[in-house]
């Protein structure tokens, strides 16, 4: 394994985060804090508790997931798209480094940035409401698994996109709506039976449910199901990336 190559790409991507600290860290934290204030104040005043949990505390896992998903996709997609845009992708492809190592470096950096952001948001939320993480190990597991999975998805989008506009299409029109409709701000048990069934086709439901369970020990779907669905999605993303590199899709044109 080319550890030197992996380290070089990883450190380069992480350095870009510190150069754009306002955009990479500060802006998402402020946006999430505004979500928390608006939803916690406006809706929390009308819904005191959900499943025995104060509404302000109930939405914290959902808010972290909202930022984690969108930032993972954005970080990874821009990270691999920029070398395509500048033409340096050909130097990367001709270097003595395998596609597994390229993916590991880019996805690892994107996931690292998202995890750091998620932990900062968690600490920020603790300033507004008292938090208790019932299963900290599972919380970290779901945090890492979600960041890695959606960074892989972002990597796919970055290869597929042939313009900056396309980089925004999937996060804005797909990821964000799915997150809002995935139980981030409510329990799916509050929906009518028909909509509960329809919601189960939303993959984000399983991630939010599993992550919330790690906090409060309550979930909309079984935790094992959430974990299996996350692993299936991760595997599918890896298979797609392997096919892209094997065929040169949008890489060798």
Q: Which residue has the higher pLDDT, 20 or 127?
A: 127
pLDDT-derived band at 3 (thresholds 50, 70, 90) equals confident
pLDDT-derived band at 40 (thresholds 50, 70, 90) equals low
Q: Alpha carbon of 201 to those of 69, 129, 147, 188, 212: distances in Å? A: 17, 31, 20, 12, 18
pTM of the model: 0.89
Q: From CA 162, how far away is CA 179, in angstroms rounded?
A: 25
Count of domains in the chain? 1
Q: Is 252 part of a structural domain of the chain?
A: no
Each residue's pLDDT tens digit, 223-237? 999 999 999 999 999
Does position 52 have pLDDT exceeding 80, yes or no? Answer: no
Q: Is 43 part of a structural domain of the chain?
A: yes
Does position 31 have pLDDT exceeding 80, yes or no? Answer: no
Each residue's pLDDT tens digit, 55-103? 878 888 888 898 888 889 988 998 888 888 887 888 887 888 888 899 9
Q: Is 73 part of a structural domain of the chain?
A: yes
Q: Is 146 part of a structural domain of the chain?
A: yes
pLDDT of res. 24: 67
pLDDT of res. 35: 75
Q: Which residue has the higher pLDDT, 249 or 213?
A: 213
Tell me the average pLDDT across 213-221: 90
Give just the sign of the alpha carbon dihedral 39, 45, 47, 50: positive
Lowest mean pLDDT among 36-45, 71-80, 124-133: 36-45
Q: Which domain holds residue 92?
A: 3-247
């Amino acid at each position: 394994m080319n550890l030197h190559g992996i380290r070089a790409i990883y450190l380069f991507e992480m350095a870009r985060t510190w150069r754009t600290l306002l955009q990479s860290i500060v802006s998402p934290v402020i946006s999430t804090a505004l979500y928390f204030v608006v939803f916690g104040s406006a809706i929390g005043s009308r819904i005191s508790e959900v499943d025995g949990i104060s509404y302000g505390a109930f939405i914290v896992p959902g808010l972290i997931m909202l930022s984690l998903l969108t930032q993972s996709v954005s970080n990874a997609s821009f990270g691999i798209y920029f070398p395509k845009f500048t033409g340096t992708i050909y130097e990367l492809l001709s270097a003595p480094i395998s596609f597994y190592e390229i993916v590991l470096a880019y996805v690892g950096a994107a996931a690292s940035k998202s995890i750091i952001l998620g932990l900062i948001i968690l600490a920020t939320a603790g300033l507004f409401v008292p938090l208790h993480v019932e299963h900290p190990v599972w919380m970290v597991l779901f945090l890492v698994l979600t960041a890695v999975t959606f960074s892989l998805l972002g990597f796919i989008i970055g290869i597929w996109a042939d313009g900056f506009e396309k980089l925004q299409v999937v996060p804005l029109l797909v990821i964000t709506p799915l997150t809002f409709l995935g139980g981030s701000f409510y329990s799916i048990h509050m929906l009518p039976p028909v909509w509960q069934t329809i919601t189960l086709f939303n993959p984000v439901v399983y991630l939010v449910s599993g992550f919330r369970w790690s906090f409060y020990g309550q979930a909309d779907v079984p935790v094992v199901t959430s974990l299996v669905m996350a692993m299936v999605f991760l595997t599918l993303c890896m298979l797609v990336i392997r096919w892209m590199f094997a065929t040169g899709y949008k890489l060798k044109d």
